[in-house]
Amino acid sequence: MSVIRNILNSRSSKGGNFFNSLHKLLGFRPKNIEIYERAFTHRSLNIKDELGNPINYERLEFLGDAMLGSVIASHLYQKVPEGDEGYLTKMRSKIVSRKHLNELGKDMNLIRFVKSNIPNDQFGVNIHGNIFEALIGAIYLDRGYKYCTKFIYNRVIEPYVDIETLEGRVISYKSLLIEWCQKQKKEFNYQVYEDTGKDELKHFAVKLWIDKKVISKARATSKKKAEEKASKRAYYALQNKMN
């Protein structure tokens, strides 16, 4: 038996239960179950193969990201023949955004399969999208491009990809605000100011100035998140002007 099978033996999903649950999720029978076990193995278990290489989902995540982008790009190329390179790139970014992938992973409840030394409720939200991409990578290695493409169509494109809806979805309110300000020749500035909150976790507070007026304020656990939140509030405050 392999290293991963020795360590995860029945621990993951009691063998047959994992296979049956996976079969139901995928819509086809997995050939090499160990690839899927790897797709749900977190690095915190610190498992290594005979050569000392780490066994976890991260390399499969990389592969799955590439496969997902390829299939989505092909779909958009065929579906929107009038779309130029910039349009197609923007649409693909919306479909494979981290937020959307996290939603997909949550909808499938993939976290139930994850094996780690960290309690599930202590993972960051990106774990859902990460293991979704790892699952895509595992499908490609196990059954090839045809099955991988079919799974993406069934689980991503058909239920979630609506061109008209996606055209109206905002990826980054900050990018939208900056682009608008530049076109309108407006001065803008994101100012980080002292946060007097009592939270245990450090927060960042941001004011968004446009033409020397504070348009919105926001606070979050990172400067980037606070700027995005402030941008979203400003967008809704200025929506009529921006449209």
| pLDDT tens, position by position, 119-171 | 888 888 899 999 999 999 999 999 999 999 999 999 999 988 888 777 777 77
pLDDT given at position 162: 84
The pLDDT-based confidence of 197 (bands split at 50, 70, 90) is low
Average pLDDT, whole number, for the chain?
Answer: 87
- For residue 188, the cross-strand partners are 210
pLDDT of 193 higher than 60: yes
Give catalytic residues, as residue numbers: 65, 133
Q: Is there a contact between 189 and 181 (Cβ–Cβ < 8 Å)?
A: no
pLDDT given at position 7: 45
Q: What is the pLDDT of residues 3-34, one digit of tens each?
A: 455 544 444 444 568 999 999 999 999 999 99
AA letter at 139: I
Residue 133 labeled ligand binder = yes
pLDDT given at position 39: 96
d(CA 131, CA 137) in angstroms, rounded, equals 10
CATH numeric code, 173-242: 3.30.160.20
Q: What CA dihedral angle connects 213, 227, 166 and 28, to 10 degrees?
A: -170
pLDDT given at position 12: 42
Residue 228 labeled ligand binder = no
Q: Where are the domains of the chain?
A: 3-167, 173-242
Residues in contact with 118: Cβ distance below 8 Å, sequence separation at least 6, in sequence order:
42, 44
pLDDT given at position 1: 40
Domain 3-167 bears CATH identifier 3.20.20.80:
no
pTM over 0.85, yes/no: no
pLDDT given at position 113: 94
pLDDT given at position 2: 52
Q: What is the pLDDT of residues 36-58, one digit of tens each?
A: 999 999 999 999 989 999 999 99
Is the sign of the CA dihedral 218, 96, 53, 30 positive or negative?
positive
Residue 61 labeled ligand binder = yes
The pLDDT-based confidence of 199 (bands split at 50, 70, 90) is low
**At 218, which helix (H) or strand (E)?**
strand 213-220
pLDDT given at position 227: 92
To the nearest whole percent, how much of the chain has pLDDT over 70?
A: 90
Q: What is the pLDDT of residues 70-118, one digit of tens each?
A: 999 999 999 888 888 888 888 898 899 888 899 999 999 999 999 999 8
Q: What is the pLDDT of residues 213-233, one digit of tens each?
A: 999 999 988 888 899 899 989
Q: Where are the alpha helices (DSSP H) in 96-162?
A: 98-107, 127-152, 158-160
